């Protein structure tokens, strides 16, 4: 059974992250040309990025608002709203629903490794907004540093939740092996074990423990490498395992 390595995070804390990151995202896309290409997402414009985040928020907060125990269909593309107006409506709605819904509310979630509880969405919304803020800021060349503790929580989300969703969904994996992910500037480290047709198992890595692949470096670099946003030199071992961990291709 996979376990969160990170502790000390709550629905309220993820909501605060969302609010902070949403403000930075809004400023960056306001300063950018809507038609400008997003460097980290080839083929996307800033307007595409705005609409993507707004639609993501509308879809994900629907689970918190309704308590649905089944998947819901993404909303259709908006009509009659300018992209920034659509974004602003969804930012306000998300802030209100995230603050109102307790983390232990039962609700459908997207990963076979995650509990069906609302805090999974609080966390996903927070980190999706971090990622899109990063994308937007690369467009205006003003990328803010991301707190190491927040990055460690994001690494934990990827390893304990997102990888399982990836291999159970459209990108099934036949890869077997283990990886140790050990950022240099936070105390947490993880060992993830991959077995075909099974939910990946994740636990805290023991001091000095090694896997078939090793990933290290500053937590911010590791976090954004997992999402295919930064290059990382401090990785060794089985490339197939490393490819499974890097969940951000196409996202």
Per-residue pLDDT reduced to its tens digit, 24-56: 999 999 999 999 999 999 999 999 999 999 999
Per the structure block, which two tokens stand in for 144? 């803010």
Q: Tell me the domains of the chain and their CATH numbers.
A: 11-140 (1.20.120), 172-245 (no CATH)
- DSSP single-letter state for residue 187: S
Confidence of residue 1 (pLDDT cuts 50, 70, 90): very low
- Confidence (pLDDT) at 242: 96
Runs of H (alpha helix) within the chain: 11-31, 46-66, 83-100, 119-140, 148-157, 163-168, 219-226, 239-245
Burial class (CB in 10 A: 0-12, 13-18, 19+), 201: middle
pTM: 0.95
């Amino acid at each position: 059974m996979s376990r969160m390595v990170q502790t000390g995070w709550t629905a309220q804390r993820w909501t605060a992250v969302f609010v902070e990151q949403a403000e930075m995202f809004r400023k960056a896309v306001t300063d950018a040309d809507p038609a400008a290409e997003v460097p980290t997402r080839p083929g996307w414009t800033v307007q595409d990025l705005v609409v993507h985040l707004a639609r993501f928020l509308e879809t994900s907060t629907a689970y918190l608002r309704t308590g649905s125990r089944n998947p819901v269909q993404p909303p259709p593309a908006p009509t009659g709203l300018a992209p920034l107006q659509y974004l602003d409506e969804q930012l306000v709605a998300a802030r209100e629903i995230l603050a109102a819904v307790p983390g232990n509310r039962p609700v459908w979630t997207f990963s076979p490794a995650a509990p069906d509880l609302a805090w999974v969405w609080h966390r996903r919304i927070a980190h999706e907004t971090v990622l899109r803020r990063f994308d937007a800021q690369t467009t205006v060349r003003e990328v803010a540093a991301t707190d190491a503790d927040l990055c460690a929580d994001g690494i934990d989300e990827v390893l304990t939740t997102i990888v399982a969703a990836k291999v159970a969904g459209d990108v099934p994996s036949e890869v077997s092996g283990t990886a140790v992910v050990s950022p240099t500037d936070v105390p947490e480290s993880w060992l993830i074990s991959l077995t075909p047709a099974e939910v990946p198992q994740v636990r805290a890595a023991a001091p000095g423990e090694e896997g078939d692949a090793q990933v290290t470096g500053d937590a911010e670099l590791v976090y954004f490498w997992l999402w295919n946003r930064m290059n990382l030199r401090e990785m060794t071992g089985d490339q197939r395992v490393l490819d499974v961990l890097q969940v951000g291709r196409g996202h």
